[in-house]
Amino acid sequence: MNVRVRELLKGIDEMDPCVRPVRTRRRPLVVAAVLCAAAAAGGGCSGAASTGEAGTGPSGRLPAYDVNPTPRERVRSGGTLRWPLPEFPTQWNFFHVNGGTGVVDRVVQGLLPYLMRADEKAVPHPVPDYLLSARATRTGANQVVTYRMNPRARWSDGRPIGYRDLAAQAHALSGRDPRYQVSTDVGYRQIRRVERGADDQEVRVTFAGTYADWRSLFSPLYPAAATSDPAAFNTGWLDRMPVTAGPFKVQRIDRTAETVTAVRDPAWWGRAAKLDRIVYRALDSGAVPGAFANGEIDLMDVGVDAGALRRAERAPGTVVRRAGGPDWRHFTFNAAGPVLSDVRVRRAVMLGIDRRTLVRSDLTGLGLTAEPLGNHFYVNTQEGYRDNSGEYGGYDPARARRMLDEAGWPPHGRYREKGGRTLALRFVVPAGVPGGKREGELSRALLERIGVRLDIRPVPGDDLLARYVTPGDFDIVPFSWLGTSFPVSPLRSVFARPSGGRIRQNYSRSGTAAIDAALDRAIAEPDPVRARRLVNAADGLIWRHATVLPLYQRPQLVATRRGLANLGACGFYQPGYENIGFTRG
Amino acid sequence: MAVFLARRLAYSAVLAVLGASLTYVLAATALRPRAGFETRTPRPPEAVVHAELRRLNLDDRVPLAVRYRTWAAGVVHGDLGHTRQDGPVGAELRRRAGVSVRLLLPGTVLGCALGVLLGAYAAARRGRAADRAIVAGSALLPAVPVFVLAVLLQFAAGKVNDVTGMRIFEWTGESSPGAGGPADRVRHLLLPTVTIALSQVALYCRYQRGLMLDVLSAEHMRTARAKGLRRRRVLLRHGLRVALVPMTAYSAYAFGLMLVGAAFTEKVFGWHGLGEWLVESIGHGDVNAVAAVGSLAAGTVLLAGLVSDVVRGVLDPRTRTAEVAAAPTTAAP
């Protein structure tokens, strides 16, 4: 009666493996808070449902974000926002191997420069407080990005933000100096050199070849003092944040109460922060509902738990914000298994599973309707999304039966048989997590209609990946991938063919040369529009290869105090923390 | 008494070393700190993971004996190693032990005192309505999991806040951020204290009632009554005092275990104490932290044994004679 209960409380896919980008949100496996903030610049948020009651848009699609967008003049100046964190970090250097979590990201977004921030459709834009412009050009085979920094931007120690900081960060994260304990060298590894332009505020970054996701770099940006010396990089941000440059500055880090207090920084050169103070507070998921109900925190992630939603709604003065999140749930098929190695059987199973039923069952009681997801890279609210499911996305048991007949699995009693072997599949779920088990039971009933037996195997949650999925001891496994604003390069390791016994995260253990080539073309394409087209081409191939069946985009439900403005369920949106506040009256 | 205590102390020290070592070996064998790095995407560079695990003495490719020697050498010098997040374990342990004691002490003392009184009262009223009510209550309460009890109390307290329109109860953490005066701290302690007291009172009550009933039928009680002492005086001076002796042993052990085992209370009320740390550290594969909490648990239980021996010696003069001291001295739960 210990860890397992916590997972029950947390809901559906506690044990999700994660795919995440270099930039947006990172979190360790066990931290399941998808509480992400979004703030809209004054008044420019026409796409969002602002009432909070309207859960879905006209076509049954979830809105891309739902953050109560409010122009700055209608946001009261002052107030304290109390914001829960799922854990309390020690290492505040996001790029250190111990610091690369979503929690660190959430806190430093109000304190450090982000050269680019994503909008609600996951399209990155320069943040003018730090970056006036960024332009990508080519010299020969190499891509050159010219950054024009804001000359007013300064660190809290008085130094201007510019060439030295970018150069030092690029060097520290390049992976060439082993003394830096970096969380990743993706992107920075491709940087060949960083040069000073006309002045310190103009920076020219030259890549070796093309790096299409260059917009993900330098967000956040740490000061040169933190990145020019390995000792400062590894230990200088332990339990402290010595230098900041944002609308807020750190007032206090309290290890005993596990709180970080950030206050409005008078030295901030942009539009002044509306809030006086943000108090981030580490709270266990068991403490969050009670704290919210009693008004001791101002917002909480509801997850996809209808019970938690009802409890949150009962608290007086609560508004629940709903939006489509970046994460997506799916079934992965083990295409190296004895039965599913035949693509015809995989396609038949896809056709035999009614995704609409599964979606309705998983998301029942949440006050929203969602559609099955038709893409392996983009979710429904993301720029570039297209439904590529084609002929394999619908529910067609008659056709599924025909396909199984053709594949040589004739019916024999209740189930199909071939050479004395029954058509049975192992459906592996983490024990004690209700969502996966329910999906298994529904799928068992659906697949029985086409003569396929599904054996649900609950396994200890901690063992799911290590003992079952990675070694290939399963036929179908349900879980979620964490989506990102830059999905293609991280998802390459999920769909690329295993080589030399290394499957990386391709748990289906299968791929094709055509998919690999299509992915490589998409990754190397610097033009975002053309890149999205190439991604969708690759996605079509993956649908036909039938190794991963996407179910739905996971919704974000965030309960907030009424009047909280420019923050809520944000989807991909990355906030300007200076605009968060409480409305007047 | 001194020789007896010295012998107990030496015995406890050996046990503590053994307990701590076993905890470390168990944690280092069962937990996989590497998994936390492997499940991240993009996965940190192999060399970085290797260097980090090696530096924190968490590398499963290093033989267990070598890792144990490194850890033990550190512990001998007062260094409990570093957490997965690179914080010093010792400082975190002290901080969290303080939090746990502040959270648990009032509730445990209250629960213990109430439990003893109720138990003694029930025993004195054996078979009557009051006794039956107390027995029924003390059977029901332990059947309610602590986190259910805590959530129910929070629910009720929230209702009181709503109805009165005042913020009488607050229960998240030790204090409100930014406030933190003594009154605010006391207010934050109310609900956790009631929760802990309720979860403890039933156990103490049942135990005390049983002890008391044994004592009541003892010969010296009858003798005392026969000599003409009043019933109340007999109950308190000769009954309760005797029945309290094994109780001290029980309560010392109970508090020692409670200190590292109150994970649910800590989690539900947002206190960052030892229990929460232990559960989190097991989840993160944080070997050094688990070993530290385990060692502390071993230490506290043995210390509790020692304390109970001393208290028993004070309360019960017979213990100081050699032949009784050789008998089992404690009633471990």
Q: Cα B269 from chain centroid?
A: 17
Dihedral sign for Cα atoms in the order A48, A53, A57, A61: positive
Q: Do A90 and B272 touch (CB under 8 A)?
A: no
Q: Which residues of A touch B263 (CB under 8 A)?
A: 2
Interface test with A, best of B85, B94, B290 (most A CBs within 10 A): B85
Cβ density class B258-270: b for 16+ within 10 Å, e for less: bbbbbbbbbbbbb
Contact residues, A window 436-475, toward B, CB-based 8 Å cutoff: 465-466
Q: Which two tokens stand for residue A292?
A: 């919210």
Encoded tokens for B322: 């050699």
Opening angle at CA B296, ends B294 and B302, nearest 5: 105
Task: Confirm if A227 and A172 have CB atoms less than 8 A apart.
Answer: yes
pLDDT digits (tens, 9 = 90+) for A432-448: 787 899 999 999 999 99
How close, in Å, is residue B16 to chain A by CA atoms?
Answer: 25
pLDDT of A462? 74
- List, in sequence order, the alpha helices (H) in A294-448: 306-314, 343-352, 355-362, 397-406, 434-448
| A290–B154 CB contact, under 8 Å | yes
Q: Which of A53-57, A546-550, B15-19 has the highest mean pLDDT?
A: A546-550
Answer yes or no: is pLDDT of A60 > 80.
no
- Alpha-carbon distance values, B55 to A94, B64, B71, B78, B178 (Å): 20, 15, 12, 18, 37
Give me the pLDDT at residue A23, please. Answer: 34
Residues of B in contact with A24 (CB under 8 A): none
Distance CA A461, CA B127 (A): 49
**Between B226 and A145, residue with greater pLDDT:** A145
Within 8 A of A469 by CB-CB distance, chain B residues are none
Contact A118, A149 (CB under 8 A): no
Quickly list DSSP for A288-322: HHHHHHTTSSSEEE-TT-HHHHHHHHHSTTEEEEE
CB contact under 8 Å between A19 and B39, yes or no, is no
pLDDT > 80? residue A233: yes
Q: Select from A124, A2, A267 the least CA-distant residue to A573.
A: A124
Asked if B82 contacts B88 with a C-beta cutoff of 8 angstroms, the reply is yes
Report the chain A residue with the minimal C-alpha distance to residue B43. A184
Residue A175 pLDDT > 80:
yes
Q: DSSP string spanning A158-223?
A: SPBPSHHHHHHHHHHTTS--TTS-BS--TTGGGEEEEEE-SSTTEEEEEESS--TTGGGTTSS---
- Which of B150, B263, B266 faces A2 most closely, judged by CB atoms? B263
Interface contact A97-B283, CB threshold 8 A: no
pLDDT digits (tens, 9 = 90+) for A307-316: 889 988 988 8
Question: Could you give the CA distance from residue A283 to residue B298 in angstroms, rounded to a whole number?
Answer: 28
Please check the confidence at residue A1 and state whether its pLDDT lies above 60: no
User: Tens digits of per-residue pLDDT, A246-298?
Assistant: 999 999 999 999 999 999 999 999 999 999 999 999 999 889 999 999 999 99
**Alpha-carbon dihedral angle through residues B202, B207, B208, B209, given to the nearest 10 degrees:** 90
Within 13 Å of residue B282, how many CA atoms lie on the same side as its CB?
16
Å from B38 to nearest chain A CA? 10
> What are the helix (H) ranges across chain B?
2-30, 35-38, 46-55, 64-76, 89-124, 129-140, 146-164, 182-216, 219-226, 231-233, 241-261, 263-269, 274-284, 287-315, 322-325
Contacts of B280 in chain A (CB under 8 A): 87
**A8 near B CB under 8 A:** no
Q: Which residues from A are below 8 Å from B264, CB to CB? A: 286
Q: What is the mean pLDDT of chain A?
A: 87
C-alpha gyration radius of chain A: 24
Q: Measured between alpha carbons, how far is A488 from A293 in angstroms, rounded to an integer?
A: 40
What are A14-49's pLDDT values in tens digits? Answer: 333 333 333 333 333 222 222 233 332 233 333 333
Determine contact, residues A150/A131, Cβ cutoff 8 Å: yes
**Are residues B98 and A256, on separate chains, in Cβ contact within 8 Å?**
yes
CB-based contact A185 B280, cutoff 8 Å: no
Beta-carbon separation of A100 and B272 below 8 A:
no
Our CA-based measurement puts residue A20 at a distance from the nearest CA of chain B, in whole angstroms, of 6
Confidence of residue A120 (pLDDT cuts 50, 70, 90): very high
Q: Are A564 and A572 in contact (CB under 8 A)?
A: no
Interface with chain B: mutation pick from A91, A255, A284, A465, highest number of B CBs within 10 Å: A284
When pLDDT is averaged across residues A482-487 and rounded to a whole number, the result is: 88
Q: Which residues of A touch B169 (CB under 8 A)?
A: 294
**Residue B221 half-sphere exposure, CB side, CA atoms within 13 Å?**
19
Q: Confidence band (pLDDT; 50, 70, 90) for A431?
A: confident
Tokens 């992965």 sit on residue: A332
| Minimum-distance CB partner of B282 among A3, A258, A296 | A3
Nearest to A6 by CA among A286, A281, A283: A286
User: Does position A483 have pLDDT exceeding 50, yes or no?
Assistant: yes
Distance in Å, alpha carbon of B282 to nearest chain A alpha carbon: 9
Contact (CB, 8 A) for B259 and B298: no
Over range A196-223, report the average pLDDT.
94
- Cβ separation B172–A261 shorter than 8 A: no
Q: At A564, is the secondary structure helix, strand, or coil?
A: strand
Q: CB A97 to CB B52 under 8 A?
A: yes
Beginning with the edge strand found earlier in the chain, give each strand of the sheet holding A453-459 in spatial order.
A299-301, A548-561, A318-333, A476-481, A424-430, A453-459
pLDDT number for residue A24: 34
- How far, in Å, CA of A161 to CA of A220, rounded? 13
Strands A277-282 and A548-561, sheet pairing? unpaired
Residue pair A12/A436 in contact (Cβ under 8 Å)? The answer is yes
pLDDT at B283: 86
Do strands A277-282 and A80-85 pair parallel, antiparallel, or not at all (unpaired)? parallel
Adjacent-strand bridge partners of B273: none
| Distance in angstroms between the alpha carbons of the first and the last residue of chain A | 46
Cα nearest neighbour of A15 on chain B: B39
pLDDT of residue B115: 93
pLDDT by residue for chain B (333 residues), tens digit each? 678 778 888 888 899 899 999 999 999 999 988 888 877 767 788 889 999 999 999 998 999 999 999 999 999 998 999 998 888 999 999 999 999 999 999 999 999 999 999 999 999 888 899 999 999 998 898 888 888 999 999 999 999 998 888 888 999 999 888 776 888 999 999 999 999 999 889 989 999 999 988 888 888 888 888 888 888 888 888 888 888 888 887 888 888 778 877 899 999 999 999 999 999 999 888 999 999 999 998 888 888 888 877 877 777 767 665 444 444 444 444
CB contact under 8 A, A175 and B158: no
Closest Cβ–Cβ partner in B39, B150, B283 for A3: B283
ipTM reported for the complex, 2 dp: 0.87
Q: Please name which of A392, A456, A450, A459 lies closest in space to residue A425, comparing C-alpha atoms.
A: A456
Closest by CA to A523, choosing from A497, A491, A546, is A491
Show the tokens assigned to B293: 């909490």
φ, ψ at A203 (rounded to 5°): -125, 130
What is the pLDDT, as a whole number, of residue B1? 65
Q: Is the pLDDT of residue A455 over 90?
A: yes
Of all residues in chain B, the one with the smallest CA distance to A83 is B177
d(CA A50, CA A69): 7
CA distance B123 to B119: 6
- Put simply, the answer to whether B35 touches A88 (Cβ < 8 Å) is no
Asked if B41 and A19 come within 8 Å (Cβ–Cβ), the reply is: yes
Residue-wise burial string across B94-105, b where 16 or more C-beta atoms lie within 10 A, e elsewhere:
ebbbebbebbbb
The residue behind tokens 């050009």 is: A137
